Structure 1
Amino acid sequence: MNSSQDQLAQFNITKLKANLDDPIMKEFKDFLAPVNLLAEESPGFVWRLKDENGDAAIEVETPFDDPLIFVNMSVWENYESLRSYTYDTVHNYFLKSRKKWSEKMDSHQVVLWWVENGHLPNLEEAKQKLELLKHNGSSPNAFSLRELYSEKGKLIES
């Protein structure tokens, strides 16, 4: 199915409690650039979605109707690189603190899938992967952090 050259795409959404200019969002907004720079400097990082200013995808038009849905998308060489950045750096603080800035959502907020080396996913593709996960559960085509699939399409321990 996939070659060993494949890379891991991740897409996540969050429903913010307020617009980024609201004072309750200050810490989140202030650390977007440094945390994104940390991602870019992390081993295994390939690419991330940016707006026209090269910043986080703040000014990107999303395929979601709610203006408070904040999107993040990146591509990594492998799951281990993504996992290390997510949980072993300051990024983990923001994960653990997310209730300060975001509302609980009833559906999946994170989806992973394998892409061919060099392919940069777009937001419509990412939204389709999130919908696929929501409707079908984890599969080799779109999976959650709880049910990881290898590049070859096999379920692996997470």
Structure 2
Amino acid sequence: MIRQPDGYHLAELNIGRLLAPTDDPRVAEFMANLDKVNGLGKRMPGFVWMMEGSGEPGTGNTENAIGGDPQFVANLTVWEDVASLETFVWGTIHKQFYDRRQEWFELLGDQHFVMWWVPAGHQPDLDEAMARLERLRQKGPSEHAFGWADLKQASKWRDNRCAQVAAE
């Protein structure tokens, strides 16, 4: 099992492809709640940093498209520890949106979520995060890139029996 090194924080990247453009009614409920959910995350104990878009209301991080595809979006955050991220993901309103992700996101065949340790104070960029995800896809879990199943202390993930379905 992977353990948190002293002086390090937990970075996470979650990618997904929206079922429709961000201004389409099919994803309107998701888009309308981005600021609320992201704002909650930023106020959570243990939150450190989030990759931001322009700050335009209702856009969240959706401007950080992947591969030039505006429907392929990324969420990149840093947390003090696993427990902080877990509490946000499964102990807040975020879980309600997580449980409904198939309503707004395509089912991805590839791994779409990765975590890794970063030195305290480091803010990873999308290129670094995508490289970590690719490493996890190609070589499997390691200290360099891992998922919830690789963290012994990730009890809420186990309790929720996360299935491999559409992205967050």
TM-score where L is the length of structure 1: 0.89
2:71 to 68, 71, 85: 68
The residue aligned with 2:159 is: none
Greater share of helix: 2
Match of 1:56 among 56, 60, 63: 60
**CA offset at residue 4 of structure 1?**
1.2
Question: One-letter code of the match for 1:47?
Answer: W
- Give structure 1 stretches of 5+ with no counterpart: 149-155
- For 1:80 and 1:73, locate their aligned partners in 2 and report how far apart those are by CA, in whole Å: 17
Alignment partners' CA distance in 2, 1:11 and 1:132: 13
Q: Post-superposition shift, 1:63?
A: 4.2
Q: Calculate the aligned-residue CA RMSD, in Å.
A: 1.7
Give yes or no for the alignment of 1:95 onto 2:98. yes
TM norm structure 2? 0.84
Q: Is the 8 A contact 1:10 1:113 kept in 2?
A: yes
1:63–1:124: 8 Å Cα contact kept in structure 2? Answer: no
| CA distance, structure 2, for counterparts of residue 35 and residue 157 of structure 1 | 24
Figure out how many residues of one structure are paired with residues of the other and give that number.
150
Q: Map 1:102-141 onto structure 2 (within 5 A).
A: 102-141=105-144
State the 4+ residue runs in structure 1 displaced beyond 4 angstroms.
none
Residues 27-79 of structure 1 show CA distances to partners (whole Å, capped at 9, x for unaligned) of 1000000000000000100000101326522223x442433111000000000
| Superposed displacement of residue 157, structure 1 | 5.4
Which is further off, 13-22 or 2-11? 2-11
1:5 lines up with 2:7 in the alignment: yes
CA contact (8 A) 1:63 1:127 kept: no
For 1:112 and 1:7, how far apart are their aligned partners in 2? 10
Q: 1:17 is matched with which residue?
A: 19
Identity percentage of aligned residues = 36
The question of whether the paired residues in 2 share the 8 Å contact of 1:13 and 1:70 is answered with: yes
The answer (yes or no) to whether the contact 2:47–2:79 under 8 Å persists in 1 is yes
1: CA distance, partners of 2:127 / 2:89: 24
